């Protein structure tokens, strides 16, 4: 099956270069080119391509908003953002808009080829050069969302929490850890104080939710 592609970029040299490269690949065909976001939206509606390769910085309407509008009308279309921006904010907004792929313009053509085949199979694809940025942004997002068992409790407290939630008695936990019963009771109190939880049942629910243990 031939993959029909719409290109959107405000630099003609980029459009021509991409078209030349893509047209030389089997099963790929460039069916349209747009130099601004509004034209990209209109051509996506008129041509119904399988894939749009979209720049972000374009006049009239940026690539992120254009992606959002295209996918609102036709969610079947896949979008790959091809941009010079490696900033996490651009990447996040592009993915939120519905794009499945995000590549930097400095990427090798082989990476674009891999991205095309990945997104056409419904898989997300990020340029190798930006994966570190995405991971760091995700970690910062989790930190802003609030504390987790892994940030609030010590390693020993998490260990005690898991055993408590799995039904072990205080004496059994003390024997496994080779500590006194009083030490285990101290850990349990500290866990409950840190989490503001007052029953083993609630501790168990919390441990399951946080991935400390499973049902």
**What's the confidence (pLDDT) of residue 144?**
59
Nearest to 4 by CA among 84, 103, 74: 74
**What's the confidence (pLDDT) of residue 74?**
95
Q: Which strand (E) or helix (H) includes residue 118?
A: helix 109-120
What's the whole-number mean pLDDT along residues 12-31?
91
What pLDDT digit, counting tens, does each position of 30-51 carry?
999 999 999 999 999 999 999 9
**Rounded CA gap, 65 and 96, in Å?**
10
Q: Tell me how far CA of residue 215 lies from CA of 69, 154, 196, 197, 206, in angstroms.
A: 43, 22, 22, 19, 12
Mean pLDDT of the chain: 89
**Rounded CA gap, 105 and 85, in Å?**
9
- Domains in the chain, please, with CATH? 3-141 (3.40.50.2300), 149-209 (1.10.10.10)
**What's the confidence (pLDDT) of residue 38?**
94
> Lowest-pLDDT range, 29-33, 39-43, 52-56, 129-133?
129-133
Percent of the residues in the chain that have a pLDDT greater than 70, as a whole number: 93
**Rounded CA gap, 26 and 3, in Å?**
9
Q: How confident is the model at residue 10 (pLDDT cuts 50, 70, 90)?
A: very high
Percent of the residues in the chain that have a pLDDT greater than 90, as a whole number: 61
Enter the pTM of the model: 0.66
Q: Which strand (E) or helix (H) includes residue 133?
A: helix 131-145
């Amino acid at each position: 099956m031939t993959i029909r592609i719409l290109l959107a970029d405000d630099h003609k040299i980029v459009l021509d270069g991409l078209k030349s490269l893509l047209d030389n690949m089997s099963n790929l065909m460039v069916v349209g080119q747009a130099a601004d976001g509004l034209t990209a939206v209109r051509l996506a509606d008129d041509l119904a391509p399988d894939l749009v390769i979209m720049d972000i910085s374009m006049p009239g309407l940026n690539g992120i908003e254009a992606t959002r509008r295209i996918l609102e009308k036709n969610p079947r279309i896949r979008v790959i953002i091809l941009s010079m921006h490696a900033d996490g904010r651009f990447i996040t907004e592009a993915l939120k808009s519905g794009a499945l792929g995000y590549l930097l313009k400095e990427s090798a053509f082989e990476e674009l080829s891999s991205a095309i085949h990945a997104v056409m199979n419904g898989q997300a694809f990020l340029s190798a050069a930006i994966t570190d940025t995405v991971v760091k942004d995700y970690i910062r997002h989790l930190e802003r969302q609030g504390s987790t068992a892994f940030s609030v409790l010590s390693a020993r407290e998490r260990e005690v929490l898991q055993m408590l939630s799995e039904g072990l008695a205080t004496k059994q936990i003390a024997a496994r850890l080779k500590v006194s019963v009083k030490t285990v009771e101290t850990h349990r109190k500290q866990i409950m104080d840190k989490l503001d939880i007052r029953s083993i049942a609630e501790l168990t629910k919390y441990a399951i939710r946080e991935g400390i243990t499973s049902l």
